[in-house]
Amino acid sequence: MSHLVKGAGVALVTPFDEENQVCYTSLSKLVEYQIENGADYLVVLGTTAEAATLDSEEQKKVLQFVIKQNGGRLPIVLGLGGNNTTAVCLTIQNTDFTGIDAILSVTPYYNKPSQQGLVAHFKEIEKVSPVPIILYNVPSRTGVDLSTESILTLANYSTKIIAVKDGAGSLDKCMHVTKKAPAHFIYLSGDDKNTLPLLSVGAQGVISVAMNATPKSMSGLVHYAMEGKYNEALEIQYRLLSFMEWIFEEGNPTGIKAALHSIGILQNCLRLPLIPASEALYEKIEEAINHHNIL
C-alpha cells in the first residue's frame, strides 16, 4: 500500500474568508490547482490545515468537501492524531473512511512520552485503523522525536504501518530507516528544503507545504529525483530554495497562505493565534513568485 503515498503529496491549507469561516470556493480552487499541476496525493486536516482551530463539525465538512471535489482522482490522506491515545482511537472508530486511503498520525505532543510510550500509542492506533498509517514525526512541534529504533519497531510490527513523514530532516535517520525497514515501509520528507537531499539517500517522497503554491515545480523536483535525474531536480531545488525558507519564517501556514493569496487562490486569512504575514515577508514571497520562476 505504500505506493499510494510515494512521490509528491501536498499538505493542504484550509482557506478562510474575512468572516473567519471556511471558504469552500477557495478550497475547490486549491484542490483543482494541485490535481492539474502534478500532485500525487492530497493530505487533509494536517498541521498546515490549521486543524487545531477547526471544530469537529468543520473538520468533517472540510474532509467531505475535499473527497467530493477530488472525485477519486488522487489518493487522500487524513490527518488524524493527538496526545490522548484513547480519544484518537475513538475518533478513528467513529470516522467514515469512505474515500480515505490512509491516515497521517502525529506523535503525541505536550505530554512527552518515552519511546516505549510512543510505540505503544501507535500500536493501539494500528489495532483500530481500517486504513494504512503514516507515522508523523515533527519534534519541533511536539517536543518528542520518534527514534530510528522506534520507527523500525513499528514498521516491522505491521504492514498496515506503511511510512513515516519525518519533519526532523535527518539524513542519518533516513539512511538507517531505509536501509533496515521492511519492503512495505517508506520514508517521506516532512521538510521541504531537505527533500532533495533525503531523496538522494533513500526517501521516496515528500508531504509538502510549499507545494500548495508550487505544485508543478515541487512535483517536478520529486519526480526527477526519483528517476535519478538529479541535475534537473537540483535546478528546481535552487529556484525554490529561498521561497522554501521564507514561507516558514513567521510560522506555518502564515507564509504559504501569503503565497496562495499572491497567486489568487485564497484570501490571506488565518485563525488566531496565527496571524497573516508581515508586509516585509509578504513582499519577499511575492518577489519570489513574480521573478524567480518558482511556479
Residues labelled as active-site residues: 136, 165
Q: Is there a contact between 50 and 83 (Cβ–Cβ < 8 Å)?
A: no
- What distance in Å separates the CA atoms of residue 101 and residue 88, rounded to the nearest whole number? 18
Q: Nine-digit cell at 142?
A: 511536539
**Range list of β-strands (E), 115-224:** 133-137, 161-166, 186-189, 205-208
**Calpha distance 76→180 (Å, rounded):** 27
The full DSSP string for 12-29 is ----B-TTSSB-HHHHHH
In terms of Cβ atoms closer than 10 Å to its own Cβ (0-12, 13-18, 19+), residue 291 is exposed
Backbone angles phi, psi at 78, to 5 degrees: -105, 125
Q: Which residues of 51-81 are buried (b: 16+ CB within 10 A; e: fewer)?
A: beebeeeebeebbebbbebbeeebbbbbbbb
Grouping H, G, I as helix, E, B as strand and the rest as coil, residue 205 is strand
CA 93, 3, 208, 195 torsion-angle sign: positive
Q: State the cell numbers at 295.
A: 511556479
| DSSP SS3 for 10 | strand
Residue at grid coordinates 520518534: 146
Residue with cell 469537529: 56
Distance CA 63, CA 156 (A): 30
